[in-house]
Structure 1
Amino acid sequence: MKKKILYAAVIIAAVQFLDGCKKELDVNPQNRITLDNYYKTEADAFAALVSVYDRFGYQSGGLYDKASIMDVACDDQLAGGGGPTDINDLQVMQTYTLNASTGPQGYLWNRGYSGIFRANTLLSKIDAINMDATKKARFIAEVKTMRAAFYFDLVTFFKNIPLIEGTVDPKDLYNIDQTTPDKIYAYVEKDLNDAIPVLPSTVPVATEGGRLTKGGAQALLGKVLLYEKKWQAAADQFAVVNGTNPGVSPSVYGYKLLANYADLWKSSNKFNSESVIEFVHSAISNGGWGDAGASEGNLLCITTGPRGYSQLSPTAPDYFSGYSFLVFTKPFFDFIHFDPRNAATVANLDSLKTAGVANYTAGYNNTGYFLGKFIGRVSNKAATTPELNFGQDFYEIRLADTYLMEAEALLNAGGSVGVGTRAYQLLNAVRSRVGLPAVAVTQANIETERRLELAGEGLRWPDLVRWGKAATVLASKGFVAGKHELFPIPQNELNNTKLKQNPNW
């Protein structure tokens, strides 16, 4: 999406202006873009909107994203890579040796607050822009949805965070206090409730694929309420997203499980019926090594690929040789081995090597079990800097996830979950899609299904934390109860400010 817009120059210039301009710079003031002479037209508003979307799907220049952090933090995956310091932020996350100065928390904090800054700036300016009222209302609703998502991630990962409701004068940035999580959650709920009635039910995917819809905002609100343990309220939101006949007919928004699980991971299968919120990637962005994080390509496609991969037979997958990050553990492979989702989830490189159809070079933490959902393919590679420009999208929320979250909400709300109930239909629609028999609706069965269905999608660690099981399950990786449920607030954010560090950091 960035490819269409000149937002980067706009935001960079604005930030440079706010940070102060050196008098010795020889700059023509007529060419300077500032907050005062921008935000005049609908095109300006759209550019600013896209700049918020940019942060929504932002990937670090260090070659990782939110999902990568969550994956290496959980029990099912290891950092991998080329050595014990390769993408060090992921290595210290895997071993829980991060601290306030070292680790991926700076990316998480900056992604959230830079997105909030961009959102707040547009919201403060858009009323004065002369543009179509319906379109303006939609822009506002999209921005509020993303702002809610940023705050939800921040409160989930850090808990004790500042609530910044508007634009802040740079001189006041060092005097902002943290607020209580309940106030953050209330703010998130309000933003989403404001946005949902205004957002479109569907969008034309050819021209607007990836833009937020009513269903996406409702699914996000359902997830927020689930994390707050507002079980029935969460179930009510998911019910609209999931439809009256889960697994049988599409919802009011057209959502329906794909018939073939493996089709979810086809690079060409963008904006399919199971996609609720999708981060868009492109194979034609021409992103380069000067700023890998600014690429429109999906960096998971290169980081998860096996090192030194080569096809020895045309029957072998056409994997693009990558960096061997986010490998699955042997216990997880044993767990999923006989599940129908195994082949689409795990790329078993040792099996291919033993069969003599392919070869690869073992990386750090090598298990032979790679994250097959995202490995780039030679047939999909870009023409320019191919390793940074794979076009496979990423699901922030997809329908099987919302089915399982609604089933969990209904179970915990205390309603009936026996054979034939809605919770039973939801859980078993996910299983039926891959040919598995029905099971009873229990917390244990829901947790198992989430682990199998959503492996490698960045959801296992937040699930373990909210279920209160992280300290037990992750003890062998170094997780300490009462500490590692939260990330440390980055040291750079604490210096000379009123912010206080999280407990035990």
Structure 2
Amino acid sequence: MKNIFIVLISLIALTSCEDELYQAPISNRSAADFYRNETDFEQAIVGVYNALGYHSISNFYLADVRSDNFYVPGLAGVREWIPISNLNRNLTTNPLIRDGWDDPYVGILRANSVLNYLNSNVVPEESTRNRMEGETKFLRALFYFDLVRFYGGVPIIDKLVTPGEALDIPRSSVQEVYNFIESDLNDAISLLPSTVPVFGKPSSVVAKALLARVYLTMSGPAYGINGPGLGANKQNDALGLLNDVINSGQYGWVNDYASIFKSSSENNPDIVFSIQNINDGAGGDRGIGTILPTLMYHESWARVNLPFAGGVPSDGIIEPSNQLLDSYDENDVRDDFSILRSWTDANGNVSNNAMIIKFLDLEDLPVDRFNWGINFPIIRYTDILMMKAEILLQSGGSQSEVDDIVNMVRERAGLDPISNVTLDMLLEERRKEFFAEGLRWHDLVRTGKVIDVMNAWIAVDDDAGVMNQMEPNFIIYPVHQNQLEVNPGLYEQNPGYN
């Protein structure tokens, strides 16, 4: 069921296009006038959820394409994702860097509006009011978590401010951003119901799952930069939260890998929290579907296999790296499900330009390339188990439990069991399990492996010689030039970028 987004489509339509995000409602009602009853708040919270649409796209370009999972030399073009993949220093005017900063703040603005006006006079039932506050704070924490992972310290805006006031809010430290995220998630844990009220909404258990990931990220190494790792030693706190999620009994193992992602079996027990997308069969871009699959498949393939235009153009083709392709065992079912290695173009020529098909559900075709209905998982039960295994490895916990978790994953993939799993072996298994789910870059950064792994990969796979060497400064991105020019001197640029 996707009823969280089916309600109030007209509201979402007003905010579906980037150019319309800051337009006033047609009625010109003020925010204070809008929040008159419970239904108005439900409408506004749908708008906060709608702002999550950026998450899968930003994590694809800024986390997956940036990692060793993809090689994008871009010798024939100047597409905006090419310099991101190639660790370019000249990213301060890149539109993907702009969007990765701006889009979460749209969600934060909407969340702050809800929290500002939510009160017992308008929503008298305490349980309903608590649930609304908990949902909104959970989402605001997720927005800030994306920001701190990609940019380090960012401005904390925790209430409605005027445009003039916003111009004077400086970047907070990474620690301060994490303190704010932790506070919001702890509030969400105390305010939300213990079970998910509707698919796509968080419960207190879901908030614990996100907080566990936050704690693990905070506990990663600092690399000598103001990035997402603080060496915070929060692994035990994360482990307790992960065990709470596991022991809740609300999620479970799914034996068939493909069924985790199919539209026909979405919201299965492996899905702890996901972005709920809707195939808008009526046509028109109303902001309820996702363009993500279109950003992954090749334009030349689409001309033959889809009834509409779109796809990755040939001058900026995004391909799984040779190292990744070579790493799959021939029996690994995740390979064939996630990657199409060869295909025939309109001229009958066979192309060996591999492409991502993990979120390409041809049994649920939309009417255009913007509105695929496939959900995007943000937290999976498999990830809960594998994060637990990561902590056990780092803390000297039970090796047999680590091996059991990894072998569950491998058995589902059609692979033989292994023993004495190391952190490197766990990361390699995560690489294939969560391919194209926006986790690879964050995994490498969190575990202290990103410099060594990326540079070893570049030495082998960068045939075109276009990539810079990985360095600590490249763990986070620059502040976009637009932000620097709004109030010169307010923000200091992240080191390492021109």
1:404 aligns with 2:394: no
1:302-313 matches, cutoff 5 A: 302-309=294-301
1:426 aligns with 2:405: yes
TM-aligned CA deviation for residue 2 of structure 1: 5.0
Q: Which residue of 2 aligns with 1:248?
A: none
User: Any conservation in 2 of the 1:305–1:319 contact (CA below 8 Å)?
Assistant: no
Greater shift, 472-481 or 162-171, is seen at 472-481
1:462 aligns with 2:442: yes
TM-aligned CA deviation for residue 380 of structure 1: 1.8
Q: Which residue of 1 aligns with 2:274?
A: 278
Q: Which residue of 2 aligns with 1:249?
A: none
2 CA distance for matches of 1:224 and 1:493?
26
- How many percent identity over aligned positions? 28
TM-score by length of 2: 0.83
Greater shift, 403-412 or 478-487, is seen at 478-487
Q: Compared with structure 1, are the counterparts of its residues 479 and 462 closer, same or farther at alpha carbon in structure 2 (3 Å cutoff)?
A: farther
Q: Which residue of 1 aligns with 2:87?
A: 96
1:98-113 matches, cutoff 5 A: 98-113=90-105
Residue segments in structure 2 that go unaligned for 5+ positions in a row: 220-233, 459-466
Q: Which residue of 2 aligns with 1:388?
A: 370
1:156 aligns with 2:138: no
1:348-359 matches, cutoff 5 A: 348-350=341-343, 353=344
TM-aligned CA deviation for residue 80 of structure 1: 8.6
Provide, for residues 240-287 of structure 1, a one-character-per-residue CA deviation record: whole Å limited to 9, x for no partner: 2123xxxxxxxx242112111121232222111000111111112656
2 CA distance for matches of 1:270 and 1:69?
26
Q: Compared with structure 1, are the counterparts of its residues 9 and 504 closer, same or farther at alpha carbon in structure 2 (3 Å cutoff)?
A: same
1 CA distance for matches of 2:418 and 2:370?
41
TM-aligned CA deviation for residue 33 of structure 1: 1.5
SS at match of 1:397: strand
2 CA distance for matches of 1:311 and 1:168?
47
Q: Which residue of 2 aligns with 1:474?
A: 454
Provide, for residues 89-148 of structure 1, a one-character-per-residue CA deviation record: whole Å limited to 9, x for no partner: 212211223421124111111122111111111101011423422111101101111111
| Partner of residue 209 from structure 1, selected from 179, 196, 199 | 199
Q: Which residue of 1 aligns with 2:38?
A: 42
Q: Which residue of 2 aligns with 1:133?
A: 126
1 CA distance for matches of 2:485 and 2:303?
51
Q: Which residue of 2 aligns with 1:341?
A: 334
1:61-460 matches, cutoff 5 A: 64-79=57-72, 84-85=77-78, 88-97=79-88, 98-127=90-119, 128-203=121-196, 208-229=198-219, 230-243=234-247, 252-284=248-280, 286=282, 288=284, 295-309=287-301, 323-324=311-312, 326-338=318-330, 339-350=332-343, 353=344, 362=351, 367-377=352-362, 379-382=363-366, 384-385=367-368, 387-412=369-394, 414-419=395-400, 421=401, 423-435=402-414, 436-460=416-440
SS at match of 1:197: helix
Q: Compared with structure 1, are the counterparts of its residues 466 and 310 closer, same or farther at alpha carbon in structure 2 (3 Å cutoff)?
A: closer
User: Any conservation in 2 of the 1:349–1:360 contact (CA below 8 Å)?
Assistant: no
Q: Compared with structure 1, are the counterparts of its residues 17 and 341 closer, same or farther at alpha carbon in structure 2 (3 Å cutoff)?
A: closer
Residue segments in structure 1 that go unaligned for 5+ positions in a row: 19-26, 244-251
Greater shift, 431-440 or 256-265, is seen at 431-440
